Amino acid sequence: MSKRRNVTYKDSGVDITANDKLVELIKPVVRRTYGPRVMGRHGGFAGMFRLDYREDLFRRNYKEPVLVGCTDGVGTKLLLARDSGHFDSIGMDLVAMNVNDMLTCGAEPLFFLDYVAVHRLDPAWVASIVESIAAGCREAECALLGGETAEMPDLYPKGDFDLAGFAIGVVERTKVIDGSEIAPGDVVIGLPSSGVHSNGLTLARKLVFQQAKLKYDSVVPQLGCAVGDELLKPTRIYVRSVLSLLHRYRVKRIIRGMAHITGGGLPGNLVRVLPEGVSAVLDTRTWVVPPVFRFLQSLGVKRDEMFRVFNMGIGYVIVARAAFANTIIGHFRRRRLDALVIGRIRKGSTGVELR
């Protein structure tokens, strides 16, 4: 009988030392997202975060705090990043998909957790993804409190990976925004998207790479850039601009409801915050649909399907009292967001009508 060779974990496809190297690489990146409420040290079994704190300079106390939790991924945008080899913005998408959702409740993002699963752990490559996640957290002003990196060669084929994000936020119970106060006469204000964001990429990839036979670096004149670069533009994070507006009106309830325009487009997301007995009528002539959507439509998609799948240039929607519309629009335009009234609320069966 031949002598058995000692088998290591690395022989089975998992390199523990690579994970240790990754932890050291991302430590300074993660710490740059920390604020005074983060406790404990990097690399522990769990992250700790103080909800209330009393330091005079950073005092923050809640009377009736409501915790808000979100989890999401970035869909098949991962495949576009994988196939192109561009990973420097996909983490920002991951953060945006979560914090923009919780923002619709009026919540302030507190901290973020990430899960990265890979076929083979390349510390430098995964660190670049974590760096983009940290950049998104800094933009959203939340801490990257922890995460998990899983190396699973038996589950993920070579080159494949997956991302998931988890965000926790807080809002005072009396300040929760849930759409219940939306009433006829309110206006619908749209905030521009930065592009396709992180929804509809399965259709976009089919149109661009299978149907039109384009490559990632194919320059499309009407886009003014490579089509792959356009599709990989990171999802806009609306946290700072929206929270600064909410903080201006601590007594008046001028914001009735908010919606993050993701899968389902304007009709499928705005309806989620409308109470019974009211509908939203949107005038699609009030904003200019960005070139990327006109290009995708030209590849063989009907208008109704475009609005059902993509954000069509409006990434976030606010339903507000009509008397404050100009003030709200001015607030966002000072922050270089071209907000505009795109519709109104009227009495009727709950739904969204596009005109």
Chain segment 56-76, per-residue pLDDT in tens: 655 677 889 999 999 999 999
Whether the predicted pLDDT of 234 surpasses 80 = yes
DSSP for 23-53, written as a single string? HHHHHHHHHTT--TTEES-TTSSS-EE-S-B
Which residues is 106 bridged to in the sheet? none
Same domain membership, residue 219 and residue 156: no
Specify the pLDDT at position 346: 95
Whether the predicted pLDDT of 33 surpasses 90 = no
Separation CA 205–CA 38 (nearest Å): 40
The answer to whether residue 238 sits within a structural domain is: yes
Same domain membership, residue 156 and residue 216: no
Same domain membership, residue 195 and residue 57: no
Residue ending a domain, among 138, 173, 208, is: 173
Specify the pLDDT at position 140: 97
Separation CA 166–CA 70 (nearest Å): 6
Counting the structural domains of the chain, the total is: 2
Whether the predicted pLDDT of 333 surpasses 90 = yes
Whether the predicted pLDDT of 16 surpasses 80 = no
3-state helix, strand, coil in the chain (%, to 5): 35, 25, 40
**Pairing status of strand 278-282 against strand 340-347:** antiparallel
| Helix runs in the chain, H state only | 16-31, 77-84, 90-103, 123-140, 201-205, 227-231, 239-248, 265-270, 291-298, 303-309, 325-334
Same domain membership, residue 205 and residue 130: no
Separation CA 165–CA 185 (nearest Å): 37
Residue ending a domain, among 118, 138, 173, is: 173
The answer to whether residue 350 sits within a structural domain is: yes
Specify the pLDDT at position 112: 97
Same domain membership, residue 166 and residue 198: no
Chain segment 80-130, per-residue pLDDT in tens: 999 998 998 999 999 999 999 999 999 999 999 999 999 888 888 889 999
Task: Please report which confidence band the pLDDT of residue 17 belongs to, taking 50, 70 and 90 as the band edges.
Answer: confident
Same domain membership, residue 134 and residue 34: yes
Radius of gyration of the chain (CA): 22
Task: Please report which confidence band the pLDDT of residue 4 belongs to, taking 50, 70 and 90 as the band edges.
Answer: low
Specify the pLDDT at position 55: 64
337 close to 313: Cβ distance less than 8 angstroms: no
Task: Give the length of the chain.
Answer: 355
Task: Quote the domain boundaries for residue 15.
Answer: 10-173
Separation CA 34–CA 147 (nearest Å): 14
Whether the predicted pLDDT of 1 surpasses 60 = no
Same domain membership, residue 309 and residue 264: yes
Separation CA 55–CA 17 (nearest Å): 40
Chain segment 130-145, per-residue pLDDT in tens: 999 999 999 999 999 9
Same domain membership, residue 161 and residue 30: yes
Which residues is 147 bridged to in the sheet? 114
The answer to whether residue 181 sits within a structural domain is: no
The answer to whether residue 4 sits within a structural domain is: no
Specify the pLDDT at position 180: 93
C-alpha closest to that of 183 among 254, 283, 262, 106: 254
Write down the pTM of the prediction.
0.92
What is the average per-residue pLDDT within 317-337? Answer: 96
Q: Which two three-digit tokens encode residue 227? A: 């089509």
DSSP for 80-127, written as a single string? HHHHHT--SSHHHHHHHHHHHHHHTTTPEEEEEEEEEEESS--HHHHH
Q: Which two three-digit tokens encode residue 182? A: 């939306």
Residue ending a domain, among 121, 142, 173, is: 173
Q: Which two three-digit tokens encode residue 215? A: 């490559």
Whether the predicted pLDDT of 48 surpasses 90 = no
The answer to whether residue 232 sits within a structural domain is: yes
Same domain membership, residue 36 and residue 160: yes
Separation CA 166–CA 171 (nearest Å): 17
Separation CA 72–CA 94 (nearest Å): 7
CATH of residue 203's domain is 3.90.650.10
The answer to whether residue 79 sits within a structural domain is: yes
Residue 324 backbone dihedrals phi, psi, to 5 degrees: -105, 10
Chain segment 260-313, per-residue pLDDT in tens: 999 999 999 999 999 999 999 999 999 999 999 999 999 999 999 999 999 999
The answer to whether residue 179 sits within a structural domain is: no
The answer to whether residue 3 sits within a structural domain is: no
The lowest-confidence range among 42-51, 121-130, 210-219 is 42-51
Specify the pLDDT at position 75: 94
Whether the predicted pLDDT of 251 surpasses 80 = no
Same domain membership, residue 211 and residue 150: no
Whether the predicted pLDDT of 12 surpasses 70 = no
Specify the pLDDT at position 287: 96
Same domain membership, residue 194 and residue 166: no
CATH of residue 128's domain is 3.30.1330.10
List the end-to-end C-alpha distance of the chain, in Å, as a whole number.
80
Same domain membership, residue 192 and residue 168: no
Tokens 């059902």 sit on residue: 308
